[in-house]
């Protein structure tokens, strides 16, 4: 196979098939499974998000390619087992997009993005009920993937509950709940609560933080990523200030570093 040809889907599928060939392929690629590749798939999705966050279009092109490779990799392993192929994957998403956009592909009329979101969710609910294959009444929370990162899953659960009316009226209402959760955490700490109780209260506190972000129209994942980046910049600023005196953090103390942190906050 001539790997110098311009890249396209068909070529990528051919390359993946060769990489997985038991005799001629790459030993690492050959020994992979759905389970072993899954963490790489998740990582590549986050790298796509990072490229978007950095507004780095060259990196985004590269990362989207890496993410596409993950889809092709999974499809190739499934095809080897006679389960499905890449064409089946593409066909399934084409069918789903047409099914969930009747206002585009049929005579149904949906005039606003809000109405489209409502129709989309109703269609998904019908699909989940059909998949369940039983008469159990569907839950508004059905289908929220358990394997999602906890922050993202909390947001999705809250949005689902909000669609059926289980929601705070205003963001300020969530602040009252936040204060309540902090008080409960303080009570557990003051009374030497068990690790399990502390974990439980902390989970409630984090869940309420996500609720507050949602009511403010802020993506908590994005907010935390920015908070992480801010902490990283400022801590590196502290390290740089210490380095001017020929010191490292381990040679300093909290009091000194806290004072330098105040300086770093003004610089970065």
Rounded (10°) CA dihedral 86, 90, 91, 92: 100
Q: Domain of residue 44: give its range.
A: 9-99
Query: Is residue 170, in this structure, part of any structural domain at all?
Result: no
Mean pLDDT score of the chain = 90
pLDDT of 3 over the 60 cut = no
CA distance 190 to 263: 33
pLDDT tens-place string over residues 119-133: 666 766 666 666 666
| Last residue of one domain, picked from the residues 99, 119, 153 | 99
Query: Is residue 52, in this structure, part of any structural domain at all?
Result: yes
Q: What is the DSSP letter of 33?
A: -
Report the pLDDT averaged over residues 246-268. 93
Report the pLDDT averaged over residues 217-237. 93
**DSSP letter for each residue of 107-122:** S----SHHHHHHHHHH
What is the reported pLDDT for 131? 66
Query: Is residue 135, in this structure, part of any structural domain at all?
Result: no
CA distance 181 to 174: 10
Query: Is residue 91, in this structure, part of any structural domain at all?
Result: yes
Query: Is residue 169, in this structure, part of any structural domain at all?
Result: no
Report the pLDDT averaged over residues 93-115. 81
pLDDT of 1 over the 60 cut = no
What is the reported pLDDT for 12? 95
Choose among 177, 243, 228, 236: nearest CA to 206: 177
CA distance 126 to 104: 19
Total residues found in the chain within this entry: 268
| Last residue of one domain, picked from the residues 99, 132, 166 | 99
Cβ contacts of 27 within 8 Å, gap of 6 or more: none
CATH number at residue 41: 1.10.287.1080
In a 3-state reduction of DSSP, which class is residue 93?
helix
Distance, CA of 9 to chain centre: 26
Report the pLDDT averaged over residues 59-69. 97
What is the reported pLDDT for 73? 98
What is the reported pLDDT for 107? 77
Query: Is residue 43, in this structure, part of any structural domain at all?
Result: yes
Band of residue 236 on the pLDDT scale cut at 50, 70, 90: very high
Query: Is residue 59, in this structure, part of any structural domain at all?
Result: yes
* In contact, 71 and 89? CB cutoff 8 Å: yes
Report the pLDDT averaged over residues 87-95. 96
pLDDT of 260 over the 80 cut = yes
* In contact, 123 and 99? CB cutoff 8 Å: yes
Question: 70-99 burial, b if ≥16 CB within 10 A, otherwise e?
Answer: bbbbbbbbbbeeeeeebeebeeeeeeeeee
Top-confidence residue, 114 or 189: 189
pLDDT of 206 over the 60 cut = yes
Residue 175 has which token pair?
Answer: 């602040």
Top-confidence residue, 122 or 241: 241
* In contact, 158 and 211? CB cutoff 8 Å: yes
Share of the chain above pLDDT 70, in %: 88
Query: Is residue 56, in this structure, part of any structural domain at all?
Result: yes
121: left (phi > 0), else alpha (psi -120 to 50), else beta? alpha
| Last residue of one domain, picked from the residues 69, 99, 129 | 99
pLDDT of 66 over the 90 cut = yes
What is the reported pLDDT for 102? 84
Report the pLDDT averaged over residues 100-117. 76
Band of residue 188 on the pLDDT scale cut at 50, 70, 90: very high
pLDDT tens-place string over residues 128-183: 666 666 667 778 888 888 888 899 999 999 999 998 899 999 999 999 999 999 99
What is the reported pLDDT for 115? 67
Share of the chain above pLDDT 90, in %: 72
What is the reported pLDDT for 139? 86
Number of domains into which the chain is organized: 2
What is the reported pLDDT for 2? 54
């Amino acid at each position: 196979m001539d790997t110098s040809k311009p890249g396209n889907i068909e070529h990528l599928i051919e390359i993946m098939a060769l990489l997985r060939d038991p005799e001629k392929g790459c030993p690492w690629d050959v020994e992979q499974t759905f389970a072993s590749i899954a963490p790489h798939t998740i990582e590549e999705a986050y790298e796509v998000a990072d490229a978007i966050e950095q507004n780095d279009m060259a990196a985004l092109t590269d990362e989207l390619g890496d993410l596409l490779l993950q889809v092709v990799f999974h499809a190739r392993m499934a095809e080897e087992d006679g389960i499905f192929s890449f064409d089946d994957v593409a066909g399934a998403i084409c069918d789903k997009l047409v099914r969930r956009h009747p206002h585009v592909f049929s005579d149904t009329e949906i005039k606003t993005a809000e109405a489209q979101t409502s129709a989309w969710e109703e269609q998904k609910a019908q699909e989940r009920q059909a998949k369940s294959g039983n008469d159990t009444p569907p839950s508004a929370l059905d289908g929220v993937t358990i394997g999602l990162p906890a922050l993202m899953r909390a947001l999705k659960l809250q949005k689902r509950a909000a669609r059926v009316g289980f929601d705070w009226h205003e963001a300020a209402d969530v602040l009252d709940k936040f204060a309540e959760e902090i008080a409960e955490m303080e009570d557990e700490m003051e009374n030497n609560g068990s690790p399990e109780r502390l974990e439980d209260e902390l989970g409630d506190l984090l869940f309420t933080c996500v609720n507050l972000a949602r009511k403010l129209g802020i993506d908590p994942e994005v907010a935390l990523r920015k908070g992480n980046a801010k902490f990283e910049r400022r801590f590196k600023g502290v390290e740089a200030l210490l380095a001017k005196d020929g010191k490292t953090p381990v040679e300093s103390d909290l009091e000194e570093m806290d004072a330098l942190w105040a300086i770093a906050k003004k610089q970065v």
